[in-house]
Structure 1
Amino acid sequence: MGSRVTHLMRNFNIENRAHREISKTKPKAAPRHPASSSSPREDIAGVSMAEEIDQKNDPLLSMLKDVYVESKDPDPQAETLPEVNKVEEETQRRALKYSLPGEPYGFCDVTDVPKGKLSLVEALTALNNHKRLPKTWTPEKLAQEYSLDPKDAKALTEFFFPFDIKIIPPKTEETKQIKDS
């Protein structure tokens, strides 16, 4: 109810008020300071920048004549060869070593992976093998088995620990505890 009343009061005689504001005389702008009336391009010496730009500078012109630039178009075949090698490297794929039975979470639609990459199942298997038999499954052997970079295989075995379970011993009466007081 209150919004209707405020709406009516706001729109009451709006056209006349608008015409009254429009017909008011506009205030005049303040006069400019005499120092700012000169062009900002003029120099203290009185020489304009435009004249200075148009003048020829003979020493610079002679140095410019001494410069010689020679350019050649690059060989288009030389540029495309590295790209072809990259594409070939990316398209080299290897078949999966291990996969999950059944169809959990859509992992079964993956049949091969690019070289240098691992599927989730392969990563877990490789980490588990390394944890169980670290002397047999060294980072070098993992790199060879899964077509990985040796540096990546070393980082994988060094920083990732699957199934690492920490068992906290039960509290005994002999252990001292800090009591809240």
Structure 2
Amino acid sequence: MGKVMSMVANKMNRFNVENRAHRILERDKPVPAPKYESNIQDMQRALELDPQLVDKLNKKDLALDDRLKNVYVTSEDKFIDYAAQRTDPNKPLPLSRKTPQDFEYGYREPTRVVAGRCTLRQAMQFITDHQSDPELWTKQRIASDYKLKEEVVGNILHYFKSFNVYIPDKGQKERILSQSSKKLIESKSED
């Protein structure tokens, strides 16, 4: 019911809007907006101080007009090159507006790695090397190659693994389904 009432109210408000707007615009003087109580009190105080304030505001002040005629504004067009002011040789603005390429692991890898630390790329490399050939890539060899502690390398190899692709046998799926259906039939026959 509320939606119907709001639609009716909107149509009533929009009815004959153009003619009403023209009637308001054709009036000689627009109706002034209502004044706040504090504004009315301020105007009354100003009139108490100077009763002829309204007359002064409506009349042209000749002295003020003469002084205004003596004021001249001169301007000299100078082109200010803001780009030249902004350029700092230590911080030049970028010349390319292309978005930078995303890094492989989501962040820029450091160029220099401190001993006892490794980058994500190096960690992924020695984890996959160890998974592919654990006899060749032992934790002692990885620790010596990457200058890491053996204990840290052992923890990394224990808790982190690279993804393996597992492709199941099509026949295995059928065997599992047939075995589970046999077990289901046997359990129903026992009941």
TM-score normalized by structure 2?
0.35
Higher helix share: 2
Larger radius of gyration: 2
